[in-house]
Structures are given as structure tokens and as C-alpha cells.
Structure 1
Amino acid sequence: MTHGFHLKAALPALAAALLTGCSLAPDYHRPAAPVPGQYPDADAVANTGERSASAVSPQVRYSSDLGWSEFFRDPRLKELIRIALDNNRDMRIAVGRVQEARAQYGIVQSDQFPTIGAGANTQHTRNPANLRAGGPDSPSVTHYYQAGLGMTAFELDFFGRLRNLSEAANQQYLATAQARRTLHINLVAQVAEAYFRLRTAQQLDGLMQSTLKAREQTFKLVQARYDEGMASALDLNQARGQMETVRADLAGIQRAQSQARNALQLLLGTPIPDNLPEAAVFGRDQVLAAIPVGLPSDLLQRRPDIMGAENALRGANANIGAARAAFFPRISITGLLGFASPQLGGLFGSGQEFWQFSPQVQVPIFAGGVSGNLALAEARKNIAVAQYEQAIQVAFREVADALAGEATYSGQLDALRALEASAAESLRLANLRYETGLDSFLQVQSAQVDLYNTQRTFLQTGMDSLLNRVELYKALGGGWLQESAAGTQPG
């Protein structure tokens, strides 16, 4: 036996168990959360009026209680999420896993109770004359009839072996249910991400179409000036290069649109319908601007992956109890109660009652394998502790990263707006100076590149800002409920 758990030291527990039954599992204590008590940048998420969670659902104290149909504000996106939750194949597999774990728990739990069944049997025997109990003149064929209730080998769970195995199966079922919730939350966020990427690609397509038209007009202007001898071949080739650059970018963004649409369709699990609601104007109003953050300790009760990791830890703790119980005697009972008779007609007559009682005791003598099972159970618990702590650390990091984004994206977008206005004015002045012959086309080219790159960066950063807010919502455990709660309706 290992880790100081010896039979001699457990004799008092054995004596008590014989009378009352017990569990040899260690007392469960939740490990301390290995993260700071406050999030960095937590003050970045402030109440911003009508676009805050408190304005939409005043009863909501935690982001995990904020329904996704209220966090997302685009009617088309909401409908896409509903379709995905109904049709996504990963979601269907997760539901099946929960049903599988529930059935497995039922099977293990049933081992704690006796199995009783009704049955009947008959036996007919012919003996030679010299083997007949009543002598040579007694009948050569004897008959035996039996009917009643039988109980298969039923283990008396004095040491909690079956109880702990049942608890481990129950915790596995709960962990599987939490895994399904985690997948549900991730699916909601993935649909939103795919939708935002598609909408951003469409916005970039519009930008590139308009930019291409502007570059074509510029090329025609330079071509005319070249034909009149007022522009150099270098100016002409620079204008052509600017035009073809945007044309190449346009082909790339059209490819990105198709890929984003394909990704969205895969998440939906069905073709994208043609009759979707009208999409909202794409911008910052796609999602709520402010949601409650709370403290890192709230994650222990709100994040399903953390709760699932704790379920796995509790199951590992129960398995230690089952492994310890294997060191003690295992007592089982088989019984039969009914009637027996040599005549079928008299089987249920008075005085034909029959019973049979067969207790069995198994005591481990050479316990090498039993000791190994205990060591294995303890090692798996240590792993489960580390996995639980790691789940907390990962969750903390995800929230902290999203909060860092919330603290900086607004300022970055404001700066990009100002930069776009400045770049547009620079391009206007560069065109004017080129047309009046004060500057070469190089100045126009530089101004065009600056404005185009700034506009692309602004759209990309705006998408990143939306995705960051979705990530914060998901990291805080949001996305499981459809409607904010006081109600607890699953999506």
C-alpha cells in the first residue's frame, strides 16, 4: 500500500464501517485560485448610457447572466446564431455526449442496489437402479420444480466503493454538461466573429471599389497629361501601379468574402438562408458597449470550463475513495426465495416454501494491483488539481487581455479617424499641386497610399474592437442564455 495508507492504521475506520458504512474519499477542499484578486484595466469598462448592460437589463449583475440576444444588437446576426444553435454538428455531438454521460452515470449508480428478478426452473433426472435413493424399485426418473424471486450478487457497500464510483460518474456527467455549455458559448462567439469578418470584408470591398474608381480617374488624368507632354513616363507608370495595386487588393478581399461566408455556413450547419432579417448598419452599435466585469473569483461560479474542471477534480477525489475501499473485504450476497416441489401441481402448496442465502467475502491478500490503483487515483487527482488551476489562469488571462483591448481600442480608433481626415486633406492638396505643376506625381502617390492604408487600418481595427468585446463577453461566461436573467432560458 502507498502514501502511508495502511490497513493497520485503518482498523478503527473498518470497525465503524461494518456498523454504519462510510466513505474513504479524502475531504474535498477547493484549491485556492492562483490569480490576483483584481483584473488589470478593469476600470476601462464603464457604463456608457443606453448601450450598457445595466440600461438594457438592470437586473443583470454578471455578464454571464446577460442574454446573447441582448448583447448582440444586429437582427441578422441574432437569427444566424439561432440557426447555428439548432443545426451545428459540433453542438449535436456535445448534446449526445451529455446523454451518453448521463446514461453511464445511471449504469454505475444502479450497482449500489440489488438486482431482483422472478424465475422458474425444472430439472428431470433418470438414475440407474443402483443409484436410486429409494432403492431399485423407486421411480427411475425424478422431477424437481422451483419458482421464486432471486437476487444476484449484491455488494454491501460498507466502505463506500460503489458510492464513490457513482459519485465519480456523476461528476463526469456534470463535467460533460459543462463542456456542452462551453461549446454553446464558443459557438455563439464564433458565429459573431465569422459574421463580423464577413461584414468587414464587405466594407473593405466597398472601400476598394471606390478607391479603384478614383485611381482609374487619376490614371486617365496622368495619361492625358503624358499624351500632352506634361507628365513623364515615370508618372504614368506610378499611376498605373497605384491602380493595379488596388485591383489586386480587391481580388484578395473578394476571396476573403467567400472564405468568410464559407466559415459562417459551416458554423450554421446549413446553407445561409436568403430570407434573413435586414442587417443593421455595420459599426460600433453591433454590440453593447459596456458589460459588468466583476472579480476574478466570480469566474469560479460563472465559467463553465472552470466548473467542469472542478467537476473532474471532485470525480478524481471520489476515485481515491473507491481505490482505498479496495483494500478492505468485499462482501456480497446472493439469495433466492420461493417454492420447490417434486410435483408441478404441488409447487405452490403449503409447506413447499424454499429459500437460499449465499454470502461471499473476498479479502485482498496480495494487493500489488490494488496499491497501484490507489497510486494511480492519487496521481490523477494531482493532475486534475493542476488542470483546474490552469483553467482559472487561462480564464483570467482571457479576461485581462480583453480588458486591455477595451482600454485602448477607443483611443486608437479616435486617432485613426483624425489620421484619415488629415490624409484625405493631404491627398486633396497633393492633387491640386500636381495639377498646377508645383509637385511631381510622387507626392500624389504618397498621399494616396497614406489615405488608402489609413482607411483599411481603420476598418480592420474597428472589426478587432468588436471581436475584442465579444471575447470579453465570452471570457466572462456570457453566451449561454438567450434572454437576460432573472430568466434562465438556455439559448
Structure 2
Amino acid sequence: MTFKALPIALAATLMAGCSLAPHYERPEAPVSAAYPTGPAYKTPAAANENGAAGQRAATPAADIGWREFFADPRLQKLIEIALANNRDLRISALNIEAARAQYQIQRSALLPSIGAAGQGTIQRTPGDLNTTGHPIISRQYSLGVGFSSYEIDFFGRIQSLKDQALENYLAIEDTRKSAQITLVAEVASAYLTWLSDQELLRLTQDTLKSQQSSYDLSKRSFDVGAISGLDLRQAQTPVDTARANLAQYTRQVAQDENALTLLLGAPIPADLPQGRSLDDQGLLTDLPAGLPSDLLLRRPDISAAEHQLKAANANIGAARAAFFPRISLTASAGSASASLGNLFKGGQGAWSFAPSITLPIFAGGSLIAGLDLAQVQKRIEIATYEKAIQSAFRDVSDGLAARGTLDDQIAAQESLVKASEDSYRLSDLRYRNGVDSFLNALVSQRALYGAQQVLITTRLARLTNLVTLYKALGGGWQETAVPANADGASAPAAS
């Protein structure tokens, strides 16, 4: 390297600056190394199968597309509409665009802003203000290209601010993914609740029809003196109960439709494809949970919290750089002349170069307070990041516990419904034959109706839990399954 090139290389090194931000280290995950174990946590039998479901289970839940997870064609269509029209998701997408623009603005501060400027000045000076005693008219014209107040980032202040803006952008992008995951889960849960209430409504309608027939038969028996008034009133009780439930479930179905409409951001179409029943949804049950550390990569909300932590870390670098001098440059080059006609003639060249340096001496403690604030904000973001991991760990653990027990609960409830059906059939038969009182038949009928209601709500709880577990594992932001090691995230180019 020649001696002439040495100052140029040194200047380039200084121009690149150095970062005063602390070296970033990811905090240790404040959770156990494995999910809880015990009687509540079971591995579904489907996980041991070698069929298509078993193959899909080998894919992390975050990479299972919602079209693969939700097999109901009607639910798929509803999710598709919600992703296109939901206003909360639209706001999240616009926030990304705003963060991208803010990042580009901050990034542009690393480069000088060059512009062209032309100026013309005509000035008349009265005679009593000059030595000639006569009015003087002076003219000055200039045209040049230059930049002003360009800060040389010796200590990485602007670079740190740029890094902070980049991390904020990435955090908002992950927040949008998290909003989409939440929306998909909410649409699925609302749809399943809608189906559940429709089944409860149909069950109540059938029950009311059966109980009304029993009441009419009891009324005829009462009219001929075959039964007492007490028996008639006992027969009327389940009819009135079913009528009240009918009004309740009719209201709930209407409210479920309203909730879905809000989530969709548009009216529910009348031409939806044929859907599946509540007990035929076919959701993937063998979702692989993996290790808790996997959540660091698969949950967008945890990734967003880490980006916010990195942004706070970069902000410390900017706060530290504020203690050091700022060097700014202002320069321009062009031509100047007293007459417009001579502006572009030879010998009219003009230039200016005005470097400046600002060194903080006394700021009333604001610089120290700014650094303290940046360090406290980083500690806040560390706690927020750790809380996000703990919340994710709890979500997955709760989902696994429910997945391991709800199947047994449904099996027991189905057996209870079958036993209640037999009990009611036999009690009603004994009453019709005059062997037993109507009270026993009434008790059996109520038990059957209650068991059927609980079975429907338990099936809903099982499906809703699978949706929640799918969300807790980071699933729902891909429409279809992604290849291994694929990354659908986009980010602006860092520099």
C-alpha cells in the first residue's frame, strides 16, 4: 500500500465506525428441559402409525399448513375469507409497511443526502449607506451540488439506531404472523362452537318433540283419570325445561354467527361448501410437541420478543455513543457569478467545505439518564422475553394434558349416554306397563338429556384443545406445509 493510499484506507475505516452496543447473548430459557409427564400426558396412538397422519406428524406443528390441519372444507373457506378481510390482520399488515418505511428512513442516515441548489440574489443599497453616495444594485447567482450536516458515524450511533429500527421491523413482522395464528385459531374455535351449538339445538328440538309427545299422552291419561295431577305436572317439567333450552341454543347459534361474521370481516357466504359434523372433523391429533427450546424458533410471539430485546440492546449502543463527539460535514461545489450570463463561463467555479464537531460537556445529567433508561429498557425486554417463553411452555403443557385426558373422558361419556338410553327406555317401558312410577322415567329422561349435552360439549372441548395446541406450537401462519428448512419470513436487507 502506498503512502497516498494509506490516508484513504484510514478514512474508510473511520467512516465505517464502531458499535458501542453490548454483545448480544440470548438469555437462557427459564423453563424445564422437557414438558411435564404424568397420568395426564399421553402420546396419541396415531403417533405410532406409519400412515399419512404419521408422516404429517413428523413435520413440526409450525410447518403444518392450516389447510392440512383443518380438513373441513367449510372451515377452510371461512379461514380463507378471514385472512383476506379481517380488519385486525389488515392493521397488522399496514403496521409492517410503516415499520419498513421507518427502517429505510433510519438506514438512509448512514449516507449523505446530496442535492442541487440554485440561488439568485438582487440587492439595492441606498447611497447614504455606501461610500459612493449613489444607490448600488448588486447581483449574485450561484448553482451547485453538495450535502449538509452529514454526520460521520465514528462511534456507531446511527448504525445502532438503524439496527434498532431493523429489529423493530422484524418484531412487527413476527407480531403479524402471531396475529394470523390467533385469527386462524379464533375462526376455527368459533366455527366449532357454532357446530356444537347447532347440535345442541337439534338435540333439544328432538328432546322437546319426544317430551311433548310424552306430555300429550300423560294429558290424555289424566283426562280419563288414569294418572294423578302430580304425574301430569311431572310430565310438564321436562317440556318447559326443553323449551327454555331451545330458546337458549337458538340465541347462541345466532350469536355464534355474529362472532364468525366479525372474525371474517364480511358476511358469512350462503354458498359455503358442505362441512363436516362435529364428531367428524378429523383434526390432526398427533402434533409433535418437541423440546421447549424449539419454541424459540417456531413461535412468532417469542421471536418478536427477542427482536424487541435486540432492539433494546442496540439502543444502548446509541445511548453510549451520545457521550462522544459528533462530527458533521457540509460541502458544496458549483459556480457563482455576479451576472447570470457569466454563471457557466470558465473561472467561475466555487466550492465550500465546512466540517464541524460537537463535544458534549455538560447536559444536566440527561446523557447519563438516557443510558440508564436504555439499560433498564433492556432488562424489561429480557423479562418480557422470558415471560413469553414461560407462557408458551404453559400453553403447550396445558394442551398436552388436555389431549391426554379428553379422549378418555369422551369414551366414558359415550358409555354414559348409552347406559342412560337403556335406563330411560326400560324406565319408560315399566311406567307404560304400570310397573313403576312416572318419577323414575322422568329422572332417567333428564339423565339422558344431560348426558347427551355433556357429550357434545366434551367433543367440542377436545377439538378446541387441539386447535389451541396447534396454535401454541406455532401452527397457523402457513397455508400449506412448507419444505424442511424453508423460511417464509421476509426481511429488509441489512447493511
Q: By the TM > 0.5 criterion, same fold?
A: yes
* Equivalent residue number for residue 277 of structure 1: 273
2:105 maps to a residue whose letter is I
Structure 2 CA distance for aligned equivalents of residues 130 and 281 of structure 1: 100
Give the direction of change, closer, same or farther, for the CA distance of 1:489–1:84 in structure 2 (3 Å limit). farther
Within the candidate set 379, 388, 391, 2:388 is matched to 391
Calculate the aligned-residue CA RMSD, in Å: 2.0
1:239-279: per-residue Cα shift (whole Å, max 9, x none)? 10111101110110000000001000111111111111111
Q: Which residue, 56, 70, 80 being the options, matches 1:82? A: 80
Kept in 2: contact 1:417–1:458 (CA 8 A): yes
Matched, 1:382 2:379: yes
The Cα shift of 1:127 comes to 3.2
**Mean Cα deviation higher: 310-319 or 109-118:** 109-118
SS at 1:333 equivalent: strand
Query: Percent of counterpart pairs with the same letter?
Result: 45
Separation of aligned partners in 2, 1:35 and 1:280:
39
- 3-state SS in 2 of match to 1:238: helix
Q: For 1:38-437, list aligned pairs within 5 A.
A: 38-41=34-37, 43-48=42-47, 49=49, 53-55=53-55, 57=56, 61-129=59-127, 136=132, 140-367=136-363, 368-437=365-434
Number of equivalences: 471
Alpha-carbon offset, residue 285 of structure 1: 3.2
Distance in 2 (CA, whole Å) between partners of 1:18 and 1:464 is: 63
Instruction: Quote the Cα distance in structure 1 between the aligned partners of 2:375 and 2:487.
Output: 37
Q: Which residue of 1 aligns with 2:7?
A: none
Structure 2: how far apart are the matches of 1:17 and 1:390? Answer: 41
CA distance in 1, matches of 2:330, 2:112: 9
Q: Structure 2: how far apart are the matches of 1:256 and 1:51? A: 39
Structure 1 stretches lacking a partner, 5+ long:
1-15
Structure 1 CA distance for aligned equivalents of residues 379 and 317 of structure 2: 15
Distance 1:376 1:43, change over 3 A: same
Pairwise CA distance, 1:458: 0.1
Q: SS in structure 2 opposite 1:257?
A: helix
Contact 1:35 1:396 in 2 (8 A): yes
Secondary structure of the equivalent of 2:147? Answer: strand
For the residue of structure 1 that corresponds to 2:278, the secondary structure is coil
Using the size of structure 1 for normalisation, the TM-score is: 0.92
Q: Is the 8 A contact 1:165 1:319 kept in 2?
A: yes
How far does residue 419 in structure 1 lie from its aligned partner after superposition? Answer: 0.6
Find the aligned partners of 2:16 and 2:229 in 1 and give their Cα distance. Answer: 100
CA contact (8 A) 2:128 2:134 kept: no
SS at match of 1:274: coil
2:234 touches 2:442 (CA, 8 Å); kept in 1? yes
Q: Tell me how far 1:46 sits from its aligned partner.
A: 4.6
1:153 Cα shift? 0.6
SS of the residue 1:121 aligns to: strand
Correspondence for 2:458 among 441, 453, 461: 461
How far did residue 116 of structure 1 move?
0.8
Letter in 2 for 1:366: F
Within 2, Cα distance between the matches of 1:176 and 1:50? Answer: 39
Deviation at residue 345 of structure 1 after TM alignment: 1.7
Q: Distance in 2 between matches of 1:52 and 1:63?
A: 15
> Any gaps of 5 or more consecutive residues in structure 2?
1-11, 490-495
